[in-house]
A and B are shown apart, each in its own frame.
Chain A
Amino acid sequence: MSLEVRCLGRRFGGFALRGVSLSLPAGAYGVLLGPSGSGKSLLLHTIAGLHAPEAGTVAMAGRDVTRVPAERRGVGLVFQQSSLFPHHDVRGNIEYGLAVRGVPRPERRRRVEEMVELVGLEPIVSRPVATLSGGEGQRVAMARALAVRPSLLLLDEPLSLVDAGGRRDLREVLRRVHAELRLTTLHVTHDREEALALGDHCAVMLDGTIAQAGPMAEVFDRPCGPDVARLLGVA
């Protein structure tokens, strides 16, 4: 499902989006690169419907969803910090979205098993979430987001708080999931290595606006200005 963001404006705390426009074709893996404080997470949360924009529109598969509440957008979101529900175990977390949607129990069980296999959670599926490492927690968060079969996957710096080993595993999981599901994905990061390793499209965000966007190779080969070039490390 394609994503189309037009002239999005929103202020929240010390962050602001100023006329952000961005498009991502169906099945693409887009990476949103930008320094801390540039508004990347705010943009992602606004696309997910957690913040109502003050201006502009968000469209998915050509349908305007700007006023659609978060729970009806069909968007999966993985947060930077652990957002697992501490009163559920790993299985309960993965099942959560299915339970609130009223999916019957046998179907729920089947979908959980599917996700456990896809993300590789077999050894930890019955563990309390408080006992998981950072990388394991993010893999569970990913399985939970995917279990409800979203049309768009949003990843908010999912690797930034994970140790080096966990990061390598998680990168592999992200690559495998995208290859199998061909799910339109928008991945926020400030790590250009990560961007190059995973994405096929790239957008660079500076000070609340998109400075440059396009296919990955094009953006890295022809940065549109010195700030973008410096951020991409190609200056």
Chain B
Amino acid sequence: MITALAAGHVALALVPEPPFTRAMNFVLFGTNLYVLQSAATVLRGRSGRALALFLAGYLVLVVLALAILDRKPLFVLLAVVYASVFGSPLLLGVFVLFVLCFVVLQPYAFETFIPLVLVYGVVWRLRRSAPPFLLACLGGGLLALVLVLLPLVHLGFQDSAQTLGRTLAREDVRRALLTSVASSTVATAIVALWGIPLAYALARLDFPGKGVVESAIDVPILVPQPVVGIALVVLLGPGSPLGQWLAEATGARFSGTFAGIVAAQVFVCSPFLVKTAMTAFEGVPRHLEAASRTLGATPRATFMRIALPLASRGVLVGLGLAWARAVSEFGSILLFASSPLTAPILVHNEFLRAGTAESRPIAVLLLLVCLWIFIGLQLGRTLLPFAWRGASRRA
């Protein structure tokens, strides 16, 4: 085999117009020698199918790195790694993804490689325990999810830390981010005050028209954002009877104020908290609350001591979703309360004024702020003292 390999490389050097310099031919010979040695070790005692697979992989590398890209050092590197990892299916899979992301999808290398390796890791871990159908559903679905989230991940890789730091140093950017965070927090707190009790009542009571109430809770999700803005202007705007009365009686103005932003956010984020909390409360077995009542707890004490702690993870998820929805609201705020500027409105204004380059770092900062609530949510769920999974097993 070694002689045949050497003869092949000598023949390549003797053709009238050799494809490689002598030095490169020698390096390639050394590389192929290593590949041959590794293949002999890895493929010893294995089927012809493994050999065919090895050769097919090697051929793909030759075509990709030498014929298409004409990058010989890259071929040397890939061939050596390929021969080294072929014996381990897990590493081979990671290698294939590496070639795919860093050679084929090079401009999107990091943002595709990291999620794809994670997906591969999950599927690999479940390969023996999960039925193939479920594994295919999971793998396919996760791949699609990677594609769905790709724009955001790609955006996150666009600006350097220095650019982001410079953008954050801008007074208008800081003020807009602060307005967004503060108004979303206030809006979420307002929704929590009435949304959590309402969710509990809906989870526990049956009454005629309950289905209509549940549908009504979903209405803000269905209504287009500009319609919400117009509706708020009509109800609370300066020319409206209610807006005028509120301004005269209490001095409170909504249109174009912080209160207006909060009003729009309350409207759009309420379904996320109410529906999620309702599902969480429905998951708390009723007989636990019945036991609490017979032990002397009033319905209110039972809610505080049993229902709310047991539903706390779901309620926390609902609060996080509501906050995230509030902070991302754009359309209705643009029409109803475009001042003070929130971060989404600032991104929009900067995009119209100066294009993508100016608006992008602000968008990335807003994305990072939103991600913090996501991370906080995960941490909060982990830190909650109660592990409901154990409980539901026994219930």
Contacts and interface: CB of A to CB of B under 8 A. Distances in A.
Interface of A: 45, 48-50, 69-73, 75-77, 79, 81-87, 96-97, 100-101, 128-130, 132, 137, 141, 144-145, 148
A50 B295 CA distance: 12
Given A86-B310, A86-B386, A130-B391, A148 B296 contact: yes
Contacts of B310: 86-87
B303 to A, nearest CB: 12
B386 A83 contact: no
B88 interface: no
A130 B309 contact: no
A86 B394 contact: yes
A86 B295 CA distance: 16
B205 interface: no
Most B CB contacts (10 A, CB to CB) among A50, A69, A81, A132 go to: A50
Contacts of A77: 290-291, 294
A76 B305 contact: no
Contacts, number: 88
A77 B294 CA distance: 7
Contact of B395 (A71, A81, A101, A128): A81
B288 A100 contact: no
B290 A87 contact: no
Contacts of B288: 83, 85
B239 interface: no
A45 B301 CA distance: 20
Given A100-B305, A128-B390, A130-B393, A83 B287 contact: yes
Nearest to B391: A86
A35 B292 CA distance: 28
B294 A50 contact: yes
Contacts of A76: 294-295
Contacts of B305: 96, 100
Given A45-B290, A83-B287, 7 more contacts: A83-B290, A87-B386, A87-B391, A97-B297, A100-B305, A144-B295, A145-B295
B292 A96 contact: yes
A207 to B, nearest CB: 24
